[in-house]
Amino acid sequence: CGFKLRGQISSLPFETLYIAAPPGHTIGSDLRRAIDATTTTKIVDSVDNAEAVLQVLNANNERRILSLSGGGRVREFELIFRITTRLIDSKGNEIVPENTITLLRILPFLDAQILAKEAEEQMLYQDMQADAVQQIIWRLSTLQKSRFKPEAASIQ
């Protein structure tokens, strides 16, 4: 039926990448770990020897009431994870303009289990974050190498 092995190791059009993520947020290290593990690109820790810079402009979790019980209590929350990223090359001109990925999950809720639901909520947020990281990598892998060829040459 035409399926071929895509392979886990996708190739990104740049050899080195710097990730600029808000400090104290786990998104930066998740991105670093995923790109390290599933692509040939090496993560560098300073902007100047990076061919490209992935800027995480913001990544935040939101919660919205989805369903109520007969007594007006919350039975389900809708968890929303939004992440906005932008890719620029080493000279700062924009390769991929600002784009936002929004993901949703449903958290059933019972007031009596508020502590447990807090842990489940964190698990769902982490799952969305991993999902978003995967989508970001897929979007980066579709960029043409040509965007980076000229600069790349000058870097070496």
Binding residues for other proteins, rule: CB under 8 A, are 1-9, 23-26, 29, 33, 36-38, 64-76, 104-108, 110-120, 123-124, 127, 135, 138-142
Rounded to whole angstroms, the Cα distance separating 140 from 92 reads 17
Q: Closest separation between CB of residue 103 and other proteins, Å?
A: 9
Q: Closest separation between CB of residue 152 and other proteins, Å?
A: 21
Rounded to whole angstroms, the Cα distance separating 103 from 80 reads 6
Angle, CA 147 vertex, CA 60 and CA 99 arms, to 5°: 20
Nearer to other proteins, 39 or 90 (CB): 39
Q: Closest separation between CB of residue 112 and other proteins, Å?
A: 5
Q: Closest separation between CB of residue 17 and other proteins, Å?
A: 16
Backbone angles phi, psi at 95, to 5 degrees: -100, -50
Q: Single out the residue of 95, 81, 102, 131 nearest to residue 17, CA to CA.
A: 95
Burial of 25 (0-12, 13-18, 19+ CB in 10 A): middle
Nearer to other proteins, 12 or 53 (CB): 12
Q: Closest separation between CB of residue 146 and other proteins, Å?
A: 14
Nearer to other proteins, 119 or 153 (CB): 119
Nearer to other proteins, 62 or 153 (CB): 62
Nearer to other proteins, 4 or 153 (CB): 4
Place of tokens 């939004």: 82
**Whole-number CA gyration radius for the chain:** 19
